[in-house]
Chain A
Amino acid sequence: MNLIIDILISGLISGSVFALLAIGFSLIFGVARIVNIAHTAFYMVAAYCIYFATHKMGFHPVWGMVAAIVLVTLLGMLSYMIFINPIREHEGAVLIATIALAMAFQEIMLLKFTGTYLSVPSLVKGYLVILGVKVFYQQLLTFCLASLIMAVLWVLLMRTKLGLAIRSTAQDREVANLMGINEARVALITMGISVGLAALTGAVVVPLTIVEPHMWMHPLIMMMAVVVLGGLGSLKGSFIGAYILGFAEALVVFLAPMGAFLKGSVALSIMILVLLIRPEGLFGVSFEEER
């Protein structure tokens, strides 16, 4: 019984994290066709910002989080304007520009904070006992915040004019342009939202994880797996795919021997099996071929 609750909590939390990351990633992919490898690097930068604000400057964690989200969003938009926008027509160049960006962020953090494992205090202390299992309030808070963010994002995308612009640009860039949508500006705003989501994810999850310069690698891989599993450009797909992979990871970690090593392998194998049956992912809309 304890094991089941452990698995449930761990799966829900990693599922929410993957969902938030994957939604941000597929947003910018849909609108601007950018495969942003640096997406989770922004998540790492946000985590370091919070560490810096709380430990070095003595801010309250909540203000640290707000500052981190604002700063990282600005950083994301700035790097989009400087490095990605001028070469957007060259798909390959954009790809390695984002890889290089991620490497640069990792190195800067390594230089500034060294490679030691750091941690950030949780927002709320204490725990709750459910059926004999300790559930920290921080875990509950993380899950609730993640759900809240997803709800807000859904409203933004489905109920506002900006959301309409983003969705129509994702469907067909040229027609969206003809309808009077400033495509370049939508792309910039989407980049801001996408990076902001990555920063938010970092902010809500950072008290539960270890902060170190390589912390972006594992989420990156899982995020990409989620996006492919759910279907590129489908928010519902990302959401469900994230929980499938999150629970798969949790199950393997708690049940299989050597689980910690195999968790990535099993989750990715599930993705490949699903793709064998449905090549466009669970909820993917097969895009009209761009020729």
Chain B
Amino acid sequence: MPIIELEQVSFTYKEGSKPALTGIDLEINEGEFVGIIGPTGAGKTTLCWAMIGVVPQILRGEFDGRVEVKGLPSNTTPVAQIAQVIGLVQQDAEAQLLMTDIEKEITFPLENLSIPRHEIDRRMNYVLDLVKLRENRQRHPFYLSGGQKQRVAVAAVLAMEPDVLVLDEATSELDPVGAEEIHNLAGDLKQKGKTIIMVEHNIDELARHADRIIVMDQGKIMRNAPTREVLSDVDFLISLGIYPPQVTQVAYTLMKESGKHFDELPITLEEGEAVFSAMREA
């Protein structure tokens, strides 16, 4: 069942000369993990903002079409209300953290919603376990690694109990191990039934978790298909300046240059190891 629906959505920023989004049709189902990729300026962030109503309610411009989140029209429903359905984590972990320790970071927004103390404690313990930061709960975010800071930002959003978590380039300032932590966390959350939307440059990590990938360019959706189908189209991705997973590139080179046959191209390391071992044994 779709939890987010976009129909013929177009948007041009007030100061913009050309549309940031053009004729977007998109449905995202409950419990799905969707990756969004594309070059800079493709409209990926604008699409996320349109889902949470920041576009066009806060960032204004010419808006056309329909966006519905759990039945709420996101261009007219108060953003604070939509935030209870969709949580957004952005690139700069530091800028999202306000408080002097992790517990406060998580409880502050809940206190503002006048949620009872015992419920706040329950949620805090739950999200701290999810992001594996329970032992650090009283630390100042300053003393955390980049990956840990971003996990705090995710925990604070999750404590609001949204149905959907949107991660907009949430790993791009993290070292590889920190980025992997966030991807694994997103994978775990999907297993627990959350809907995950992840805008990412790191295609290798996305390949492991995403059910479906949307490729955007110049405000339009160019592809919207299961992960393997999108990532197997190596020439298409390279033409858009996107670096496909290296395992996929290895298989593609073997296919093209040496006529090797693969039933399907591997997209993760585990698949690559299996497929290439089999090839060498044959």
Do A and B originate from a single complex?
no
